[in-house]
Amino acid sequence: MPTQAQVVPPLTAKIKKESKEEEESFLQEISRFNSDFSLRGNRETVFESQTHTEILDLEREVESLYKEMELMSRRNSHMSSMEEKRRALQLELQGLDNNLKDLDQQLTAAEAMTQSLRAESLFVIQKPLTDSTCL
């Protein structure tokens, strides 16, 4: 039967070999990852590219916001124009309403005058029949 001293060296050699293989595999994975994401290349170039892309995105957003502001400005001026027309029409309606009230008062006064004149006319027509001075 082998002694403990004879078994340990092959085990440590095996562990060292497996450890070395895992380390190499790990380093290959890291290299592949770095290559896939251009992490090994020129970082400055990658940074400039990302910065340029962000700047372009921001410029597009600014342009979009300017267009939206212009559209809102046009809508606002259209709304202001419509509000001005509405106020003018309200003033015109108020004037017409005042005219209608005046005409209603004049009509009421004219109707009262007409009734008064009819009553007086009836009185005058009947007076000769009842008045001794007219008989």
What was the pLDDT predicted at 71?
A: 92
Question: In 3D, which of 46, 66, 47 has the Cα closest to residue 58?
Answer: 66
pLDDT reading at 135 higher than 60: no
Report percent pLDDT > 90 for the chain.
47
Enumerate residues 6+ apart whose C-beta is below 8 A from 38: 46
pTM above 0.75, yes or no: no
Report in angstroms the alpha-carbon separations of 6 from 3, 15, 41, 88, 126: 5, 15, 49, 111, 160
**Mean pLDDT, rounded, of the chain:** 85
Residue 97 or 129, more confident: 97
Q: pLDDT for 22-46, tens place per residue? A: 888 988 888 887 777 765 556 677 7
pLDDT reading at 2 higher than 70: no
pLDDT reading at 62 higher than 80: yes
Buried (b) or exposed (e) across 72-101, using 16+ Cβ within 10 A? eeeeeeeeeeeeeeeeeeeeeeeeeeeeee
The CA angle 77-79-81, to the nearest 5 degrees, is 70
